[in-house]
Amino acid sequence: MAIMRTTSHWIHAGPVAVISLALAALTGCTPPPASDSPDPADVARDGISAYLAREAREITDRAVAESAGREAWESVREQRLTELKDMLGLGFEREKTPLNAQIRGRIERPGYVVEKIAFESMPKVYVTANLYLPTSSDGPVPGVIYVCGHAYSPHGAKTSYQRHGHTLALHGYAAMVLDPVQIAETAGLHHGVLNQEMYEWYTRAYTPAGFEVWNAIRALDYLETRPEVNSERVAMTGRSGGAAMSWFTAAVEPRIKVVIPIMGIGTYAVSVPDNTQRRHCDCMYPVNFRMHDLIHLGSLIAPRPLFTAHGRLDPLFPVAGYEEFESAMTALYDSYSVPDHFRNLVVESGHEDSDELRSEAVRWLDRWLMQREPREIDTEFDEIDAAELAVFGGHPPEDAQNYRVHELFIPPPKPLEWTSMAEWTSRREERLGALRESVLHSIPFDADAPPTRPGTLVPPGEFEPIAFDYGGQVPVEALLRISDDADGPALVHVAMPGEDPESVQRLLRNISRFGRNPLLVVFPPGTGSGTWTKSEWKMLLRNAMHTGRTVDTIRIGSVLAAIRVLRNRIGDDREVAVSGIGPAAGWALYTAAMDESISHAILVRAPASHVEGPILLGALRYVDLPDVAVLVAPRRLTFYGGMPPQYARTREIYEGLGVGNRISVSMSIGAALNGQFGHGYSIGL
């Protein structure tokens, strides 16, 4: 039997289709030919993809304009720096706790030594590293932090990148090679969204890039304690994932004087339509709720010396992307009158390291940290056995909290509290403003109703199929029923993935026993007959993140647009309620919170926390779902069938506001919609 997709975001074909195919195979019959009509799922996917590509182009174009010259860039630099820190999770006041550094071993080699270092970047969060120190120096030498890419070793990725430590130390640099959190001697994660079902990372606005940057910042703090290192002359370099960390760290940390990211840049205008995210780890990007482009990273580094290198055959970073970046940086560095501070080298290779790139990196360091002329670089070295380089020797501390970093790095939101109605009103407006400006900023709240056209859904009963485009490109299907003698509040029901017109009709059929309410059933992208495979949904989700939104942001925006469509039909005077089941209850709840013209939210099997959904960039920095429900107050809030215990505090606040009678549990959507909140009625068949 086929697997049924039942998560809140995607759904497989139903078992009836599977059984039909099985019977056809057994009997030798062939299924009927496919319809010539396009698959609704493909139409929705392609519409969102085109919409995201357009938005990505706008983001890149804005970055190019901002970095066009020194004057333009300096006018926004501080704001963009603050925003980048925020996106990386570095905008909070974060204490630099004791490093508790340990030197757990020492390996002597001709011309240098290797120290096995551990320090705590946060309490009980251990960073493992190898520090390569030249032994022939008369005084402090320039330091280099080398951040590793994704090369697996049970003894840490640092062992796979030791060639860089050897070469740097032999040429007079103190090189600290850091393990990344996922490929270290203590377990941590880089792939929460990519393949480990931790979609709340986006809702927390947590990226492992932020934690890796924090580790690099603490590594800088450690190097400042070492008398062998000239802490006024520190550079940072790495390839692939290490290039990303070099970009992010140098952009936010002025102590990094020279930067050499190898194979790790482009523009969203190129990467989103090329869907390069499918090849990348979650650590490669900030959670882009401030809608930056990667061009901003280079601009924040300017005018410090910046050397980048790319492989023309590298599928992870397309040529058009790094060429656009190179063009922007060339113009910006020219405007600072330091054109020689920027260089981009393109080699005829794929996504791979080489002796040539290592040599060119050392020459760049020589020029800007040692002020010396180009020299021959010796790239030969004798590799040290990986086990010898391990810091903990296969026995990391049992109290290590690295596996919980994604929970610890971003502080949870503070619950809404109040002591007076005036304070409540102020706090409520503050949270609504934060959600509008920082989480749902891509939704055009003040837009006119989009034009409608005949829809493609097969309507049950007296429904009229209609459709419209959200954002001008994302198709949204809906079913509308307004009788000639319509009476009572209108209901907008938000369909969840897998919910079809017939199932909606069954859910809402008893409404007619209580009133003649206008009904609009809206099928946001990826619901109804247009459901996606999980891989398709995740592809859209990760590309949407690059443009400052998620699939659920688009869905909430499409529901708000549907409400404007309905009001064009029924006028502005009639009350409108909104309902939804499961994940759609979350979309409906946000719709009611953000659109104060909604008089009533009816939630069926509402998710208890944002950890279950909806996935909205950074929402958990401000609210969890019970506090979103509080934002509906003093309007009516109904839980169909039962209220999750996590919403008990929502009820307490309703009661504290003197509107406790407006939050209730009902056994009938029709009764609740029409103002019957007791249980002294017959629901009927």
Domains of the chain: residue spans and CATH: 70-408 (3.40.50.1820), 421-450+480-673 (3.40.50.1820)
What pLDDT, on a 0 to 100 scale, did the predictor assign at position 22?
Answer: 35
Q: Report the 10 Å Cβ neighbour count for 311.
A: 22
Angstrom distance (rounded) from CA 570 to CA 572: 7
H-helix segments, 279-408: 295-301, 319-335, 355-365, 386-389, 405-408
Q: Specify the pairing of strand 125-134 against strand 112-122.
A: antiparallel
Average pLDDT value for the chain: 91
Burial readout 99-121 (b: 16 or more C-beta within 10 A, e: otherwise): bebeeebeeeeeebebbbbbbbb
For residue 303, whether the previous peptide bond is cis, meaning omega lies within 30 degrees of 0, is yes
What pLDDT, on a 0 to 100 scale, did the predictor assign at position 683?
Answer: 63
Which residues, in sequence order, are CB contacts of 399 under 8 Å at separation 6+? 124
What pLDDT, on a 0 to 100 scale, did the predictor assign at position 684?
Answer: 62
What pLDDT, on a 0 to 100 scale, did the predictor assign at position 8?
Answer: 41
Would you say 488 and 515 are in contact if contact means Cβ atoms under 8 Å apart?
yes
- Tell whether the model's pLDDT for residue 579 goes beyond 50: yes
What pLDDT, on a 0 to 100 scale, did the predictor assign at position 11?
Answer: 37
- Tell whether the model's pLDDT for residue 685 goes beyond 90: no
Least reliable range by pLDDT among 5-14, 123-132, 411-420, 450-459 = 5-14
Angstrom distance (rounded) from CA 160 to CA 235: 20
What pLDDT, on a 0 to 100 scale, did the predictor assign at position 420?
Answer: 77
Write out the H or E segment, with its range, that includes residue 129: strand 125-134
What pLDDT, on a 0 to 100 scale, did the predictor assign at position 33?
Answer: 42
Least reliable range by pLDDT among 79-93, 414-428, 625-639 = 414-428
Angstrom distance (rounded) from CA 40 to CA 531: 8
Least reliable range by pLDDT among 64-68, 359-363, 500-504, 605-609 = 500-504
Angstrom distance (rounded) from CA 335 to CA 322: 20
In whole angstroms, how far apart are CA 351 and each of 156, 163, 209, 310, 422? 21, 17, 20, 8, 58
What pLDDT, on a 0 to 100 scale, did the predictor assign at position 13?
Answer: 33
Angstrom distance (rounded) from CA 435 to CA 417: 17
- Count CA atoms within 13 Å of residue 241 on its CB side: 28
User: pLDDT by residue (tens digit) across 285-326?
Assistant: 999 999 999 999 999 999 999 999 999 999 989 999 999 999
- Tell whether the model's pLDDT for residue 466 goes beyond 90: yes
- Give the mean pLDDT of 445-465: 92
Which phi and psi angles does 141 have, rounded to 5°? -115, 160
Give me the sign of the Cα torsion angle 531, 535, 537, 539: negative
- Tell whether the model's pLDDT for residue 385 goes beyond 90: yes
Query: DSSP letters of 433-475?
Result: HHIIIIISTTS-TTPPPPP-EE--S---TT-EEEEEEETTTEE
Confidence of residue 485 (pLDDT cuts 50, 70, 90): confident
User: pLDDT by residue (tens digit) across 160-209?
Assistant: 999 999 999 999 999 999 999 988 999 898 898 998 899 999 999 999 99
Confidence of residue 14 (pLDDT cuts 50, 70, 90): very low
What pLDDT, on a 0 to 100 scale, did the predictor assign at position 460?
Answer: 86
What pLDDT, on a 0 to 100 scale, did the predictor assign at position 35?
Answer: 52
- Return the SS3 of 427: helix
Percentage of the chain modeled with pLDDT above 70: 94
What pLDDT, on a 0 to 100 scale, did the predictor assign at position 344?
Answer: 96
User: pLDDT by residue (tens digit) across 209-248?
Assistant: 999 999 999 999 999 999 999 999 999 999 999 999 999 9
Angle at 402 between CA 100 and CA 547, to 5 degrees: 120
Confidence of residue 416 (pLDDT cuts 50, 70, 90): confident
Angstrom distance (rounded) from CA 434 to CA 257: 35
Sheet holding 102-109, edge to edge: 102-109, 112-122, 125-134, 174-178, 141-147, 229-239, 256-262, 306-311, 342-347
Which residues, in sequence order, are CB contacts of 670 under 8 Å at separation 6+? 508, 510, 511, 512, 513, 514, 515, 517
What pLDDT, on a 0 to 100 scale, did the predictor assign at position 512?
Answer: 82
What stretches of 617-677 adopt beta strand conformation (E)?
636-640, 663-666
- Give the mean pLDDT of 513-532: 90
- Tell whether the model's pLDDT for residue 21 goes beyond 70: no
What pLDDT, on a 0 to 100 scale, did the predictor assign at position 453?
Answer: 96
Percentage of the chain modeled with pLDDT above 90: 79
Q: What's the full length of the chain, in residues?
A: 685
Residue at token pair 């304070």: 423
Confidence of residue 80 (pLDDT cuts 50, 70, 90): very high
Structure tokens at 679: 């249980």
Q: Which residue has the higher pLDDT, 551 or 36?
A: 551
Q: Which residue has the higher pLDDT, 150 or 145?
A: 145
Instruction: Fill in the DSSP letter of residue 149.
Output: -
Would you say 96 and 104 are in contact if contact means Cβ atoms under 8 Å apart?
no
User: pLDDT by residue (tens digit) across 322-370?
Assistant: 999 999 999 999 999 999 999 999 999 999 999 999 999 999 999 999 9
